Amino acid sequence: YLTDVISEDPRPDCRPARRHRDPCLRVVMDRFVVTSNGPLSGTVRAGGAKNSALKLMAACLLADGRHVLTNVPQITDVDIMGEVLTAMGVTVTRGTTPDELVVDTPVDVLPEAPYDLVEKMRASVVVLGPLLARHGRARVSMPGGDDFGHRPIDMHLHALESLGAAFESSHGYVEGTVESTVAARPRLVGTRVVLEYPSHTATDNVLMAAVLAKGTTVIENAAREPEVCDLAAFLNGMGARVQGAGTSRIEVEGVDSLHPARHRVVADRVVSATFLAAAGLAGGDVVVEDARADHMDMLIRKLTQTGMHITQGPDGLRAERDPSVRLRPVDIATLPYPGVATDYKPLVVTLLTVAEGVGIVTENLFSGRFRYVDELRRMGADIRTEGHHAVVRGVPRLSGAPVRSSDIRAGAALVLAGLAAEGETIVSDAHHVDRGYEDFAGKLSSLGAKVSRSD
């Protein structure tokens, strides 16, 4: 598979691609090359959570001054969010250490998130709440991101409308304004917001909007993810008054202003789960030193049912599996937190491809998130999909093949599949994985995997 990125090659010895008058062409490939290399062993760090860092960066819009975030992963999505903020007049730089991010927010920002940046990453829509809360207006392009089904932002808009915002949509942009005024400035007004579904990003958006609203806001049916708790802790560090984060009912008492703060990003539970799954597929003994078992209760329960041994120790979360014994099948369904996250599902499906028996996986959140299954089939997996369900019949061993990544987690899962495959596996479109994983090939290699990155 080749990515369709084509550029001119200035080298004089480059042969013309079509006719002698055509410019020389070069096809740019980004891929992982994976070969099975036996059981894994060692210690690895997951690093900061992508799904928290991006929301924390957006929250920096709520107060002018210098914010410092630590344990921020060096991934493409953080770079994109940095570009979104930079387009608004915010200065985003790496600090004294590679994992430190310094966000300098001016008094006045341009309250617009342009299409060419927002279409790359859906999480950019979370700037909507902070901009409306502090500036009374926002113009944000309709979001893009990973390709796994239609995910409208109507829930965000309805929730913000209940706080006093009004929206118009045209030419691919959503334009919001705050109609009510308090002390001669536009200001949202606290109210009771009931979310139709415990959406993580919708909860974040409403939470950030509510901290500067007049009065008290109660968010019912709120998302309960650890990343929501992390955002609430950062906001409280800025002077907000948020209670109940981590439960389905969050109460926010609005304040007149906030101040900049310093905060450490929570560890990434999905990256942690990826390294646990790697130990399951290749066998061995792996410690994820910053992983938190209390953030992955349901997933750990399911991995344990497959025959893996997972324990929380002083050095971190440890995953062990005897490579001479095949995994057992499990049935699993994705649900809002604390259920099994949809981001875990490609990892679980890949584990089941080499289990001894049949497992059924049900996707309850995004209808298009079985698109990587065809790639696993290319590697010899026996998977049948029907609507929201996938029936996975395990085979003794996968076979290496050229496959293509369609999104962040699917790409990571295909790399892990190569750990349990005979021969060489080439995973193209590796840039998807770069959006959520820092030096993925390097970290797997440190555990003894034979994985390289080729651009």
Active site residue ranges = 146
For residues 384 and 409, is the Cβ–Cβ distance under 8 A? no
Taking phi over 0 as left and psi of -120 to 50 as alpha, with beta for the rest, 164 belongs to left
**Measured between alpha carbons, how far is 333 from 361 in angstroms, rounded to an integer?**
6
Long-range contacts of residues 108-112, Cβ cutoff 8 Å, at least 24 apart: 109/61, 109/135, 111/135, 111/137, 111/138, 111/139, 112/87, 112/88, 112/138, 112/139, 112/140
Please give the structure tokens belonging to residue 259: 């101040």
For residues 208 and 36, is the Cβ–Cβ distance under 8 A? no
- Indicate the Cα dihedral angle 55, 362, 282, 378, nearest 10°: -100
Please give the structure tokens belonging to residue 28: 């740019």
**Measured between alpha carbons, how far is 159 from 164 in angstroms, rounded to an integer?**
9
- Nearest by Cα to 405 from 84, 72, 76: 76
For residues 284 and 40, is the Cβ–Cβ distance under 8 A? yes
- Indicate the Cα dihedral angle 152, 156, 157, 159, nearest 10°: 140
Task: Report which residue type is found at 135.
Answer: H
Residue ranges of the alpha helices (H) in 289-393? 297-305, 345-352, 373-378
What are the φ and ψ backbone dihedral angles of 220, each rounded to 5 degrees?
Answer: -95, 150
**Measured between alpha carbons, how far is 44 from 449 in angstroms, rounded to an integer?**
12
Whether the upstream peptide bond of residue 338 has omega within 30° of 0, thus cis, is yes
Please give the structure tokens belonging to residue 238: 């800025």
